[in-house]
Amino acid sequence: MEKSFKKIKLDNGLRVILVPRPASLATTVLVLVETGSTYETKNINGLSHFLEHMCFRGTKRRPTELQISSELDSLGASYNAFTSQEYTGYFAKVRNKKFEQALDIVSDVYLNPTLAPGEINKERGPIIEEINMYEDLPMRRVQDLFLELVYGDQPAGWKILGTKDNIRSFTREDFLKYRQEHYVAKATIVVVAGGFNEKGMEEKVKDAFSGIHDGKKSSKVSVQEEQHNSRYTVSHKTSDQTHLVMGFRAFDVHDPRRYALEVLADMLGGGISSRLFQKIRAELGAAYYVNASTDLYTDHGLFVMSAGIDHKKLDLVVNATLEEFAKFKEEKVGSKELQKVKDHMIGHLFLSLETSDELGLFYGIQEVMGMPCTAPRELAKKIESVTPEEVQSVARDVYTNNRLNLAVVGPFKEKSFSDILKI
The reply to whether 26 and 75 lie within a common domain is yes
Segment holding 379, helix H or strand E: helix 376-384
Pairwise CA distance, residues 56 & 172, whole Å: 15
Q: What is the pLDDT of residues 347-402, one digit of tens each?
A: 999 999 999 999 999 999 999 999 999 999 999 999 999 999 999 999 999 999 99
Query: Does 1 have pLDDT greater than 50?
Result: no
* In contact, 163 and 46? CB cutoff 8 Å: yes
Pairwise CA distance, residues 405 & 156, whole Å: 15
The reply to whether 192 and 235 lie within a common domain is no
Pairwise CA distance, residues 391 & 183, whole Å: 39
pLDDT-based confidence at 272, cuts 50/70/90?
Answer: very high
Strand stretches in 187-280, DSSP E = 188-194, 231-236, 242-249
Count the neighbouring beta carbons within 10 Å of the beta carbon of residue 128: 16
Distance of CA 192 to the CA centre of its chain: 20
SS3 label, residue 403: helix
Pairwise CA distance, residues 116 & 54, whole Å: 9
Total-model pTM:
0.95
The reply to whether 120 and 23 lie within a common domain is yes
Last-in-domain residue among 150, 175, 208: 208
> Whole domain around residue 342: which residue ranges?
231-410
The reply to whether 273 and 169 lie within a common domain is no
Q: At 283, which CATH number?
A: 3.30.830.10
Quick check: is 416 in a domain?
no
Quick check: is 422 in a domain?
no
Q: Rounded to 5 degrees, what are φ and ψ at 280?
A: -80, -40
Quick check: is 69 in a domain?
yes
Q: In angstroms, what is the C-alpha Rg of the chain?
A: 23
The reply to whether 156 and 250 lie within a common domain is no
Last-in-domain residue among 167, 193, 208: 208
The reply to whether 44 and 175 lie within a common domain is yes
Quick check: is 1 in a domain?
no
Last-in-domain residue among 193, 208, 223: 208
Q: What is the pLDDT of residue 188?
A: 98
Q: What is the pLDDT of residue 29?
A: 98
The reply to whether 271 and 369 lie within a common domain is yes
Q: Rounded to 5 degrees, what are φ and ψ at 140?
A: -85, -40
Helices (H), 15-116: 47-54, 65-74, 99-111
pLDDT-based confidence at 2, cuts 50/70/90?
Answer: very low
Pairwise CA distance, residues 312 & 286, whole Å: 9
The reply to whether 54 and 201 lie within a common domain is yes
Q: What is the pLDDT of residue 312?
A: 96
Quick check: is 225 in a domain?
no
Query: Does 86 have pLDDT greater than 70?
Result: yes
Quick check: is 405 in a domain?
yes
* In contact, 250 and 296? CB cutoff 8 Å: yes
The reply to whether 62 and 163 lie within a common domain is yes
Number of domains in the chain: 2
Quick check: is 106 in a domain?
yes
SS3 label, residue 157: helix
The reply to whether 188 and 271 lie within a common domain is no
Query: Does 310 have pLDDT greater than 60?
Result: yes
The reply to whether 72 and 192 lie within a common domain is yes
Query: Does 154 have pLDDT greater than 50?
Result: yes
Quick check: is 84 in a domain?
yes
**Residues written for the chain:** 423
The reply to whether 277 and 197 lie within a common domain is no
Q: What is the pLDDT of residue 4?
A: 78
- Residue 133 exposure: Cα atoms within 13 Å on the Cβ side: 7
